[in-house]
Structure 1
Amino acid sequence: MVQYVHDQTGQKLHYVGHSLGTLMAFGAFSRGEVVSMVRSASLLCPIAFLGQMPSLLARAAADAFIAEDLYWLGLNEFAPGGGPASKLVHDICSNSGIDCSNLEDVLTGPNCCLNVSKSYLNDQQPTATKNMVHLAQMIRQGNIAMYDYGSEDENNKHYGQPTPPEYNMSQIPTDIPLLLAYGGKDLISDVKDVQTLIDKLGGRDPEKLVMVYKDEYAHLDFVHAINAKQVVYNPIMDFFNLH
């Protein structure tokens, strides 16, 4: 996608990603891919390390290999708001004793600033079930690595080694300006995991590693909060204008 936009416009991009969109950027940047086409990156609720993630529902789903079950059943699309995925989530809630009466909050954190008349999980776009398997692997292992194909033989076929290579965050070029926006109530992009990411990024020019921290924000607030323009998007535009 970055290559296409760059080729069509002849310009470097300002990249913005939320949640899974940040993982895509970290993977590409750490491998030196598309970095020459990017002017800056604003990464909301960054996902790199998930080992300390406090979302009981997401961790229970990972530990129960729910995504793997869906994948091996031939369900290649994971739709958060309905279908088999939704039924399995509710089964987890029933069997684990997790109160899922407010599914958005139990999964993503107590979002402070959403329009309470709407359901936002139903608005989330589907993704590949394989993506969810990959995230579950990262939750269980606490690292940021490529997809694990489940056997040494299969991993050797894809990577030339028996285990998936890890992404090295310190390899992200220091001349790419990064803005990391994260919240104190986020149950997926946890503050401690974000700090691990910051530590792994290493020493950088303060103007090229900018933090936007909102203690009252959870995972969905960064996209859907009624005050997100003032709290998140205006600082992002200021960041873009600097670069």
Structure 2
Amino acid sequence: MCRILAFGIITVLTTSQVSGNSLNEFFQEQNQKLNAFFKDQLNLVEDAVNTSYAGAIHIQNKIGDYIEDQKKKISDDVNNYVERVQESGRNFVDTYSFMPTEDPLSLLVKPDVVLSVPSLIRRNGYDCETHTIFSDGFLLNVHRIPRPKSGGATSKNTVILQHGLFASSADWILNGPQKSLAYALADAGYDVWMTNIRGNRYSREHSRYKEKTKEYWNFSWHEVAVYDIPAVIDYIHRVKGNAKIAYIGHSMGTTILFTMLSVRPEYNNKLVGGIALAPEIFISNMESPIKSMASIASGVAHTQMVTGNYEFVPKDSFFGRLHKMCEAEHLSSQICNNVIFYVCGEDQKQLNETIQETFLANLGTGTSWKTAVHLAQMILSGKFQPFDYDYDERNQRMYGADTPPEYDLTKVTLNITLFWAQNDLLSNEMDVRKLHEMLPTTTQMYLVPFPKFNHMDYLMAKETPRLVNNKVLETLSETFQQSNDIPRNY
């Protein structure tokens, strides 16, 4: 820059002429020219600086935009990965550690609310295994308690526990080690396998479909019964070789059992017996207010699915977060009690409020709108039948008839004990007796000896050992003893 200025000064001086003017005038003129020259140079420098500054700002903005884009991309990738991690039953964070929570301190303050099923089981001193079983594209995670808390060998006598709607394997352990059926069975020497149906938080993965797609959620409990539970039974037989398996289901878990035995009757011989807690095979006489919603279920489901919502009561929905309102110290906890009583039957005496928040935290684990509509169809029709597609062409293609045929209960030859309760608003005595009369085998009915016992008390009542578990253990003992005299082809 200095060299340029010096060259300019010399040029100005050498190109000027002194012609008759006084020396003073000459220098004034040269001074003006120099000032003009310096002004021009300063303008050029200022323009160059401004141009460079604008360029620098532009580059800075471009770099900033690029950094923000990369941060967003990385954040999206991380969030997608975490979502897959949290939703996959095979993943460490979900299956082996704890459930996603907005408050990390919950793990210390309320571990039973936050911990996953395997972690809860181990926390209570029992061994736990997670077995992943492939069925119809889904990866099903089954939680196993292979032996008693005291240790010892694994028995060949095996029990499958199948949960109901909105639920998971957590149903069978949340009442604690002294009251939960899974622990009672394990301590009695049974090898306990707790299933998780497709779409719930422990069986979320699919080999082809993403969980936001319509194809992923195109199932009801029919597919669970026809594909998934048979896959679990076959898997256990392969793993154990000499297994004798009994099945215990609660609520929709009983629907799955009777569907499987009707559609795939060969599985009557792959089980040694069954127990149906609160059977839901015929449900048209239910007294729960849920019945009044059946007529609008199909329309609501259609509206939801048109907008891309194929999952029924997802974990991040209002109902999926209901447990936050039902904390024991929360003012609305009594309202939550009343909601349970309103839907399932009132039973203040057996309500175990200490586990209510934990229990509700494990609801809303994922199922399809098709499942909800299928149950609504059973309420309205009074029939036990496959899904009604509500237009003749689709039904003709699926069933060869304008309406779906009823499941053939005469094919159910397995000995099954039916547990029922007088105050169960979802599993009515009239419907249970209808089922009992239609089964071809001699089936025992057991009335829970507590007048106010309701639909959820099987899982969370204060006196489940006396009212339910002891009878279950007695029934299983007789079942497995009888199976020793009956040859079966697995």
Range of TM-score over shorter length:
0.7 to 0.9
Q: How far off its partner does 1:4 sit?
A: 2.0
**Alpha-carbon contact 2:351-2:460 (below 8 Å) kept:** yes
TM-score by length of 1: 0.83
Question: Is 1:235 the counterpart of 2:475 in the alignment?
Answer: no
* SS, match of residue 6 in structure 1: helix
1:64 aligns with 296
2:428 aligns with 190
**Alpha-carbon contact 1:78-1:128 (below 8 Å) kept:** yes
2:397 aligns with 157
- Give the counterpart letter for 1:79 in structure 2: V
Matches within 5 A, 1:32-111: 32-56=265-289, 58-65=290-297, 66-79=300-313, 83=317, 102-111=338-347
Change (3 A) 1:41 1:73: farther
- Give the counterpart letter for 1:160 in structure 2: G
- Give the counterpart letter for 2:375 in structure 1: L
1:115 aligns with 352
**Alpha-carbon contact 1:54-1:188 (below 8 Å) kept:** yes
The separation in 1 between residues aligned to 2:381 and 2:281, in whole angstroms, is: 12
Change (3 A) 1:24 1:72: farther
**Alpha-carbon contact 2:386-2:405 (below 8 Å) kept:** yes
Q: What do residues 128-180 of structure 1 show as CA deviations (whole Å, max 9, x unaligned)?
A: 2211110000011111100111211111222222211111223211xx22111
Give the structure, 1 or 2, with the largest relative contact order (CA under 8 Å, sep 6 or more).
1
Matches within 5 A, 1:103-182: 103-112=339-348, 113-117=350-354, 118-119=356-357, 120-124=359-363, 125-173=365-413, 176-182=414-420
**Alpha-carbon contact 1:104-1:121 (below 8 Å) kept:** no
* SS, match of residue 419 in structure 2: strand
Which is further off, 178-187 or 152-161? 152-161
Q: How far off its partner does 1:122 sit?
A: 4.3
* SS, match of residue 454 in structure 2: coil
Change (3 A) 1:155 1:63: same
Question: Is 1:218 the counterpart of 2:430 in the alignment?
Answer: no
**Alpha-carbon contact 1:3-1:34 (below 8 Å) kept:** no
Q: What do residues 184-228 of structure 1 show as CA deviations (whole Å, max 9, x unaligned)?
A: 1111111111111111114x44xxx22221232110001111211
2:250 aligns with 18
Q: How far off its partner does 1:72 sit?
A: 4.4
* SS, match of residue 276 in structure 2: strand
Indicate the structure (1 or 2) with the bigger Cα radius of gyration: 2
The separation in 1 between residues aligned to 2:305 and 2:368, in whole angstroms, is: 9
- Give unmatched runs, 5+ long, in structure 2: 1-231, 322-334, 480-490
The separation in 1 between residues aligned to 2:423 and 2:474, in whole angstroms, is: 25
Q: How far off its partner does 1:14 sit?
A: 0.7
The separation in 1 between residues aligned to 2:319 and 2:402, in whole angstroms, is: 31
**Alpha-carbon contact 1:81-1:122 (below 8 Å) kept:** no
Matches within 5 A, 1:199-218: 199-202=437-440, 204-205=441-442, 209-214=443-448, 215-218=451-454
1:3 aligns with 234
**Alpha-carbon contact 1:46-1:189 (below 8 Å) kept:** yes
Q: How far off its partner does 1:238 sit?
A: 1.2
- Give unmatched runs, 5+ long, in structure 1: 88-98
1:95 aligns with none
The separation in 1 between residues aligned to 2:428 and 2:304, in whole angstroms, is: 26
**Alpha-carbon contact 1:148-1:155 (below 8 Å) kept:** yes
Among all aligned residue pairs of Structure 1 and Structure 2, give the percentage whose two residues are the same amino acid. Answer: 28
**Alpha-carbon contact 1:29-1:35 (below 8 Å) kept:** yes
- Give the counterpart letter for 1:142 in structure 2: G
1:27 aligns with 259
RMSD over equivalenced CA pairs, Å? 2.4
The separation in 1 between residues aligned to 2:261 and 2:382, in whole angstroms, is: 20
* SS, match of residue 272 in structure 2: strand
The separation in 2 between residues aligned to 1:180 and 1:71, in whole angstroms, is: 36
Which is further off, 99-108 or 30-39? 99-108
* SS, match of residue 51 in structure 1: coil
Size of the alignment, in residue pairs?
225
TM-score by length of 2: 0.43
The separation in 1 between residues aligned to 2:281 and 2:461, in whole angstroms, is: 23
Q: How far off its partner does 1:81 sit?
A: 7.2
